[in-house]
Amino acid sequence: MSQFSSAVQETIDRIRADVSRLHSELTRYELVVWTGGNVSGRVPGEELFVIKPSGVSYDELAPDNMILCTLDGRAVPGSPGSDRSPSSDTAAHAYVYEHMAHVGGVVHTHSTYATAWAARGEEIPCHITGMADEFGGPIPVGPFAIIGDDSIGRGIVATLDGHRSKAVLMQNHGVFTIGKDAKDAVKAAVMCEDVARTTHIARQGGDLIPLPQDKIDALFDRYQNVYGQRGGAAEGESK
């Protein structure tokens, strides 16, 4: 029998299904190789989130082997999947949920072009309208931090708190993205790789043409507040 009320259990089951399914977007958009990368989703209204097990093939990921964790990064004993170790980035995801209340999803990848910018410790400058739309400016670099404790999480929060960007390039490591939910964070990871690749290729051909700040601001505002179908039906249906 579940240790949660039926309403909370229903929400947990929905987030398990979402997080499990969203991992297939990372492979679809070729943002990860082998077992690299991870997606997590907060359980709304609870001090809980769901994340993938560590080092398990993407083909084997399923709602029941996603791991339910508390905000200190520990698996909830007795919950489905808790017999396995959670993602090695669980502490980083937990730190973000603990310190950024508006965040409902976190994604990590080593996507090729974005990680190349991270390896140089160079922020991606904002020279294309699609980047202004999604990120509202440059994608910043976060500190180099070793996996194993909350150092990566602290670096993500210190870099993204108060920043428009939903993506950070953790130096010498890779991309972490945040979103209002797991799907939104996956979208930011897809867009981050796209702008990293385009900006890299553009730079090979010559100087980049500056995009004025007032135009970046206007594009960001339109995309965030006007673009698409207001009311959310179409976006929700495309899950």
9-17, 18-26, 36-44, 208-216 -> range binding ligand 5SP (CB under 6 A): 36-44
Cβ proximity to ligand 5SP, 40 vs 164, nearer residue = 40
Q: Which residue has the tokens 């979402």?
A: 18
What does the buried/exposed string (b/e) look like for 136-175 if buried means 16 or more CB atoms within 10 Å of the residue's CB? bbbbbbbbebeeeebbbbbbbbebbeebbbbbbbbbebbb
5-13, 18-26, 35-43, 122-130 -> range binding ligand 5SP (CB under 6 A): 35-43
Spatial strand order in the sheet of 141-142: 67-70, 48-51, 38-42, 105-109, 174-179, 167-170, 141-142
Task: Fill in the DSSP letter of residue 122.
Answer: -
Asked if residue 105 binds ligand 5SP (CB under 6 A), the reply is no
> Taking a C-beta distance cutoff of 8 angstroms, is the pair 49, 93 a contact?
yes
Burial class (CB in 10 A: 0-12, 13-18, 19+), 213: exposed
Task: Fill in the DSSP letter of residue 138.
Answer: P
Cβ proximity to ligand 5SP, 111 vs 136, nearer residue = 111
Cβ proximity to ligand 5SP, 67 vs 191, nearer residue = 67
Asked if residue 23 binds ligand 5SP (CB under 6 A), the reply is no
Asked if residue 87 binds ligand 5SP (CB under 6 A), the reply is yes
Asked if residue 150 binds ligand 5SP (CB under 6 A), the reply is no
Asked if residue 88 binds ligand 5SP (CB under 6 A), the reply is yes
Q: Cα 125 to the chain's mean position, in Å? A: 20
* Binder among 28, 47, 55, 161 for ligand 5SP (CB under 6 A): 55
Q: Which residue has the tokens 């594009």?
A: 219
Asked if residue 40 binds ligand 5SP (CB under 6 A), the reply is no
Q: How far apart are CA 83 and CA 65, in angstroms?
A: 9
- In this structure, what token pair is assigned to residue 103? 């965040």
Cβ proximity to ligand 5SP, 176 vs 220, nearer residue = 176
Q: Give least dist CB 102 to ligand 5SP, A.
A: 23
Asked if residue 37 binds ligand 5SP (CB under 6 A), the reply is yes
**Binding residues for ligand 5SP (CB under 6 A):** 35-38, 52, 54-55, 87-89, 108, 110, 147
